[in-house]
Amino acid sequence: MEIFNHDSNIHFLGMRKYTIAIAIFLMVASIGLIAFKGLNYGLDFTGGVSMVVDYGQSVEISEVRGALEKGGIHNAMVQSLGGTREVSIRLQPKDDPGAVDTSGKFNLDRIAADVIKVLQVARPDAKLKSRDYVSAQVGQELRSDGTVAAVFVILGIMFYLWIRFERRFAIAAVATEIHDTLVTLGILALVQREFDMTVLASVLAVIGYSINDKVVVFDRIRELFRLARKAEPEEILNRSINNTLSRTIITSLFTGITMGALYFYGGTAVHGFAVTMLIGIVVGTLSSIFVASPILLWLGVSKKDLMPVTKENPELARRP
């Protein structure tokens, strides 16, 4: 199944000066957005109040969320706890004097009473089962652990590609992975979409998804370098992008459709995951086509780097 002709010859590398300049601009802009505007961290990272509410009869998550919004409690995270009558509610305490006690800590009893009062306006059968406070220190640890996880994923990818292909491929892959991650985070900072644990998980998924496209292109580059004796590196790289273009677009298209279905039918709990994946899919696909190969060309990849060590090989001698 192909969208583009396998032997098409779109000169992608002819645009490399512009595409690399755009990529650098996007990275710098993303760093600026993250540094000065910042990510809109959710309750998972900032801390807050966690409550479990039990209902006498079945209740819909949208019904609970609607009751909270109507009562003036905004941006609360509402999730089902495996049944139809018990829900988890996480929220930032209201900015009022009664929410903080004399020791400077949040008054859980006051906050819980306010929430239950709001819920009972819509459903009198709502009852508080438990409440707890998650400190901002825990959120700070989650942020640092997430950063470490992303760094280790990128370093692991670099190590794998160094062994599987060659040093230049590993450097090009890591450079584009950093680009994809930064641009994705920069867009999230620009639109101030809430950054919680599901979004962090999707950022790590974006890193894995993005490298998948690049490995396909890199594998084709290695194959064509070994098959062609006289072709220039720029020609080989350009032909590799064209040969894998249909596969890249089709994979991205169907993954995007899946994320779209998850967004519209998966509920608000996975909205952040789906949106972040959609952003990452677009950015990763474009970098696979317009950024990774130009970096390889700039690093000076050649046929010699990818040829087997043994030169006296009859099979290679028969190849054109």
Q: Tell me the CA distances in angstroms from 259 to 49, 262, 296, one per residue in order.
A: 30, 5, 31
Same domain, 58 and 118: yes
Q: Which of 303, 296, 302 is CA-nearest to residue 226?
A: 303
**Cα–Cα distance, 110 to 93 (Å, whole number):** 10
Q: How many domains does the chain have?
A: 2
Q: Which of 274, 41, 285 is CA-nearest to residue 183?
A: 285
Q: What is the pTM of this model?
A: 0.79
pLDDT in tens, the chain (320 residues): 566 666 677 888 889 999 999 999 999 999 999 999 988 887 777 777 888 899 988 888 888 888 888 888 877 888 877 677 888 888 877 544 456 665 556 678 888 888 888 898 888 888 888 888 777 666 677 778 878 888 888 888 888 888 877 888 888 888 998 999 999 999 999 998 888 888 988 998 888 888 888 888 888 888 888 787 677 888 889 999 998 888 889 999 999 999 999 988 887 778 889 999 999 999 999 999 999 999 988 988 776 766 655 545 555 455 44
State the DSSP string of 144-200: HHHHHHHHHHHHHHHHHHHHHT-HHHHHHHHHHHHHHHHHHHHHHHHHT-EE-HHHH
**Cα–Cα distance, 198 to 82 (Å, whole number):** 18
Q: Could you tell me the sign of the dihedral formed by the alpha carbons of 309, 311, 315, 317, in that order?
A: positive
Same domain, 165 and 126: no
Which CATH number does the domain housing residue 161 bear? 1.20.1640.10
Same domain, 221 and 83: no
Of the residues 85, 106, 134, the one at which a domain ends: 134
Same domain, 199 and 313: yes
Residue 90, domain member (yes or no): yes
**Cα–Cα distance, 60 to 71 (Å, whole number):** 17
**Cα–Cα distance, 128 to 117 (Å, whole number):** 10
Same domain, 62 and 97: yes
Residue 285, domain member (yes or no): yes
Which CATH number does the domain housing residue 114 bear? 3.30.70.3400
Same domain, 303 and 178: yes
Of the residues 134, 156, 183, the one at which a domain ends: 134
Same domain, 92 and 186: no
HSE value, Cβ hemisphere, 13 Å, CA-based, for 160:
14
Residue 3, domain member (yes or no): no
Q: Which pLDDT does position 69 carry in this prediction?
A: 86
Residue carrying the six token digits 């590398």: 13
Q: Which pLDDT does position 1 carry in this prediction?
A: 59
Same domain, 91 and 154: no
Residue 200, domain member (yes or no): yes
Residue 181, domain member (yes or no): yes
Same domain, 143 and 75: no
Same domain, 178 and 112: no
**Cα–Cα distance, 190 to 113 (Å, whole number):** 36
Residue 265, domain member (yes or no): yes
Same domain, 33 and 110: no
Q: Which pLDDT does position 266 carry in this prediction?
A: 80
Residue 223, domain member (yes or no): yes
**Cα–Cα distance, 243 to 46 (Å, whole number):** 47
Of the residues 134, 161, 186, the one at which a domain ends: 134
Same domain, 18 and 82: no
Residue 227, domain member (yes or no): yes
Task: State the residue range of the domain holding 81.
Answer: 48-134
